[in-house]
């Protein structure tokens, strides 16, 4: 525990990767999302400060969950233009505090927590939305989230083929190499990459729809991770209007998810509801006149809080 005369504990991304596995993170995020959907979490919708001169955003994300014994705040920036400068587009720090006293416990590398927990939340969603025979995974995007999603989603489904598409062919090839495996292929054309794919993940910084419903087969599951503001989109109207839609937070999605707000579509479930009540299937979607299942991820603070607590507890178990 840090006091005024002692420096706070800092846990780096490298340390985190040695302390926890993706399966560990999926487990705590699943419990956290369930607690969130059933009133066990206290947190506001993300507060965002715009930095218009530099096309940047600063987000503040506090969360408290008694059952997980966690009180944490993530401070995150999003600067889309950083990718052209060799700087991460997302940068973050997580502040973990003692729920009993409010005392500072640790500062944690927020980039690594964001990378892990975002993919973990998608994995939880896929666990409760997965197709009956998920053979092909298509990942749209080539950044750190593409890599982390390949790792996390492979823990849920045994994909026969993983397809990678990105605007930059060299980055796409490097992403495929980093993901690894004989069944990973790079595609030059996005529509071709999406053809007959069972699960499609969009992890881009697109501000206009990049994925079209007309490209997808009936029964496809789409995980939309980018487009985290009310005016950005990754998924077009044809896709959104023909999908049963699941989100991490209905309140946050109604305020922040451009794919939902601009698409003017209904939200059907939160992931936490599916964790408690059981999977949703294409039979359910078809009964509502829908052709697809969509998980629109925004990333909510409880995911950071439970992941931060997991990392801290693992660290303390090794060092006390």
pLDDT digits (tens, 9 = 90+) for 197-234: 999 999 999 999 999 999 999 999 999 999 888 999 99
Q: CA–CA separation, 41 vs 67, rounded Å?
A: 9
Q: How confident is the model at residue 5 (pLDDT cuts 50, 70, 90)?
A: low
Q: How many CA atoms lie within 13 A of 42 on its CB side?
A: 9
Which two tokens mark 123? Answer: 């994995």
Is residue 147 within 8 Å of 136, Cβ to Cβ?
no
The set of residues, in sequence order, having a beta carbon less than 8 Å from that of 66 and lying 6+ positions away, is 40, 99
Mean pLDDT of the chain: 95
**Which residues, in sequence order, are bridge partners of residue 138?**
163, 200
Q: How do residues 162-173 score in pLDDT, each as one tens digit?
A: 999 999 999 999
What DSSP line would sit under 32-94, residue for residue?
A: HHHHHHTT--B-PPPEEEEEGGGTEEEEEEEEEETTTTEEEEEEEEE-GGGGGGTS-SEEEEE
Check: pTM over 0.75? Answer yes or no: yes
Asked if residue 4 has pLDDT above 90, the reply is no
Q: CA–CA separation, 286 vs 167, rounded Å?
A: 34
Asked if residue 41 has pLDDT above 90, the reply is yes
Q: Cα-Cα-Cα-Cα dihedral of 28, 248, 228, 98, to 10°?
A: -40
State the average pLDDT over residues 67-84: 94
pLDDT for res 90? 87
The set of residues, in sequence order, having a beta carbon less than 8 Å from that of 2 and lying 6+ positions away, is 8, 9, 103, 104, 105, 106
């Amino acid at each position: 525990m840090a006091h005024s005369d002692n420096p706070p504990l800092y846990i780096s991304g490298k340390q985190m990767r040695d302390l926890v596995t993706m399966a560990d993170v999926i487990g705590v995020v699943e419990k956290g999302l369930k607690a969130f959907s059933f009133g066990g979490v206290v947190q506001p919708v993300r507060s965002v400060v715009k930095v218009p001169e530099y096309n940047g955003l600063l987000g503040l994300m506090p969360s408290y969950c008694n059952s997980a014994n966690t009180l944490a705040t993530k401070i995150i920036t999003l600067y889309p233009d950083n990718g052209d400068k060799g700087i991460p587009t997302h940068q973050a720090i997580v502040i973990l505090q003692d729920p009993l006293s409010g005392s500072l416990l640790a500062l944690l590398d927020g980039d690594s927590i964001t990378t892990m927990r975002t993919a973990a939340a998608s994995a939880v969603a896929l666990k409760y939305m997965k197709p009956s025979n998920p053979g092909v995974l298509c990942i749209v995007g080539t950044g750190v989230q593409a890599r982390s999603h390949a790792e996390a989603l492979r823990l849920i489904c045994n994909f026969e083929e993983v397809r990678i598409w990105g605007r930059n062919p060299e980055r796409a090839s490097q992403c495929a190499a980093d993901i690894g495996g004989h069944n990973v292929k790079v595609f030059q054309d996005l529509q071709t990459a999406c053809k007959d794919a069972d699960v499609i993940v969009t992890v881009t910084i697109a501000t206009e729809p990049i994925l079209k419903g007309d490209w997808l087969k009936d029964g496809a599951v789409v995980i939309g991770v980018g487009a985290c503001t009310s005016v950005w989109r990754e998924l077009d109207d044809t896709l959104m209007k023909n999908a049963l839609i699941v989100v991490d937070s209905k309140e946050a999605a109604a305020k922040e998810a451009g794919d939902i707000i601009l698409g003017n579509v209904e939200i059907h479930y939160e992931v936490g509801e599916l964790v408690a009540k059981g999977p949703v299937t294409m039979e359910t979607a078809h009964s509502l006149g829908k052709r697809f299942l969509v998980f629109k991820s925004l990333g909510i603070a409880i995911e950071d809080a439970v992941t931060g607590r997991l990392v801290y507890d693992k660290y303390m178990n090794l060092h006390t």
